[in-house]
Amino acid sequence: MNIRPLLILQAPSAFISGGYYRWYKLLEYGKSEDIDYVVVTDSLSYQNYIRMFPRFKEVSRDYKTYVIDLHEIRFFPSSVSRVLKVFKPYWDAFSLAISISKVARKENVDLIVGPSEGPQRVWTSYFSGKTSNKPWTSVFQGERFLFKPTPKLGPINPINVLAHVSHKEFARNISLSSKLGYAMELLGLLKIAEKSLMLTVGRSLSDELKFLNPKIEFHVIFPGNGIDLEKFNKKSKLTPLYDAVFFSRFVPEKGVFDLLEIWKIVTQKFSNAKLAVAGIIEDVKVLEDFKKLIHRYSLARNVVFLGQKDHDSIIDLVKSSKIAIYPSLLDVFSLTVLESLACGVPVVAYDIPAIKYNFHDCKAVLRSPAKNTARMARNVIFLLENEELINELSKEARKYASNFDWKKVVKAEKEAYLKVIEWSNSC
Cα–Cα dist 423/197, whole Å: 7
Cα–Cα dist 205/211, whole Å: 10
Q: Are residues 38 and 182 in the same domain?
A: yes
Q: Are residues 88 and 176 in the same domain?
A: yes
Q: Are residues 144 and 235 in the same domain?
A: no
Condensed to tens digits (0 to 9), the pLDDT of residues 137-167 reads: 999 998 899 999 998 999 999 999 999 999 9
Cα–Cα dist 74/253, whole Å: 34
State residue 71's pLDDT score: 64
| Cα separation of the two ends of the chain | 23
State residue 234's pLDDT score: 74
pLDDT-flagged residues of the chain (< 70): 71-86, 235-237
What 3-state DSSP class applies to 4?
coil
State residue 74's pLDDT score: 47
Strands 275-281 and 303-307: parallel
Q: Are residues 356 and 217 in the same domain?
A: no
Q: In what order do the strands lie in the sheet with 347-350?
A: 303-307, 275-281, 242-250, 321-326, 347-350, 365-368
Q: Are residues 187 and 267 in the same domain?
A: no
Q: Are residues 150 and 255 in the same domain?
A: no
Sequence-separated (6 or more) residues with CB below 8 Å from residue 119: 89, 185, 186, 188, 189
Indicate the average pLDDT of the chain. 94
What 3-state DSSP class applies to 409?
helix
The letter for the amino acid at 22 is R
CB atoms within 10 A of CB 215: 11
> In the beta sheet, which residues pair with residue 5?
111
Q: Are residues 83 and 101 in the same domain?
A: yes
CB atoms within 10 A of CB 106: 12
Q: Which residues span the domain enclosing 261?
A: 229-403
Q: Are residues 245 and 292 in the same domain?
A: yes
Count of structural domains within the chain: 2
Dihedrals phi, psi of 329, to nearest 5 degrees: -105, -15
Q: Are residues 210 and 280 in the same domain?
A: no
| Helix locations, 108-160, DSSP H | 119-132
Q: Are residues 182 and 261 in the same domain?
A: no
Q: Are residues 74 and 210 in the same domain?
A: yes
Condensed to tens digits (0 to 9), the pLDDT of residues 72-105 reads: 444 455 555 555 566 778 888 999 999 999 999 9
State residue 88's pLDDT score: 77
Q: Are residues 154 and 249 in the same domain?
A: no
- The CATH number that applies at residue 337 is 3.40.50.2000
